[in-house]
Amino acid sequence: MALLETPHVKTDQPAPDFTLKNIDDKQISLTDVKGKNGTVIAFICNHCPYVLGMIDRFVETANKLSKQGINTVAIMPNDTKSYPADSYDKMQAFAKEHAFTFPYLIDETQEVAKAYSAVCTPDIFGLDKDLNIQYRGRLDSAGRNKRDENTVNELLEAMQDIAKNGSTDAQQFPSMGCSIKWKE
């Protein structure tokens, strides 16, 4: 497991478009998941300990954001042939186990992950209402550890700011996680 941190992203850049297969076999595009006040795109997988450490908090945050007109989509970019724990059927089970209320898409060609320059799982992007990237960072200050009274929910706060102001001045801390498992 290679541990990586996400690089800083230039904000106000249009988010790359995509259409990928959801765990219900339907094709979902970026436009389909666009929220009235913003959109969160998270590159995750089923087996990474960094994802496993934060996934329930991520779902909780997505549910809070949904009530504010901010939609969420998760994308699984890993090579499922080399990493069968991330297979399509295991994605379906993972989403059910963690009560996903948002689409969980498979990036079989890995072209979407490349278009976003995603490097690890989790790798989280926050878009404004016009689908411009305004945030790239971690979910919260706890990382893969348990949340405590000092945990700052950085994604929630940044997305609320983006929904209200179109951008955020909040400091964006890199997400940390397992490297994306690229096809050879």
Q: What is the DSSP string of 99-153?
A: T--S-EEE-TT-HHHHHTT--EESEEEEE-TTSEEEEEE-S-TTTTSPP-TT---
Domain encompassing residue 131: 3-179
Nearest alpha-carbon partner for 157 in 173, 145, 179: 173
pTM (whole model) above 0.75: yes
Tell me, yes or no, whether 146 lies in a domain. yes
Cα distance between residue 102 and residue 2, in whole Å: 28
- In a domain, residue 184? The reply is no
Q: Which amino acid is at 31?
A: T
Phi, psi (rounded to 5 degrees) for 30: -60, -40
Across the chain, what does the average pLDDT equal? 94
**Per-residue model confidence as pLDDT tens digits over 22-64:** 999 999 999 999 999 999 999 999 999 999 999 999 999 999 9
Which DSSP category does 149 fall into? T
Q: Which residues of 97-115 are buried (b: 16+ CB within 10 A; e: fewer)?
A: ebebebbbbbbeebebbee
Q: What local confidence, expressed as pLDDT, does residue 9 receive?
A: 67
- pLDDT tens profile 113-159: 999 999 999 999 999 999 999 999 999 999 999 999 999 999 999 99
In the beta sheet, which residues pair with residue 72? 40
Pull the structure tokens for residue 125: 């992007």
* Count: domains in the chain: 1
**Tell me, what CATH number does 117's domain have?**
3.40.30.10
Residue 79 lies in a domain: yes
The answer to whether residue 123 is domain-embedded is yes
Compute how many other C-beta atoms are within 10 angstroms of the C-beta atom of residue 94. Answer: 23
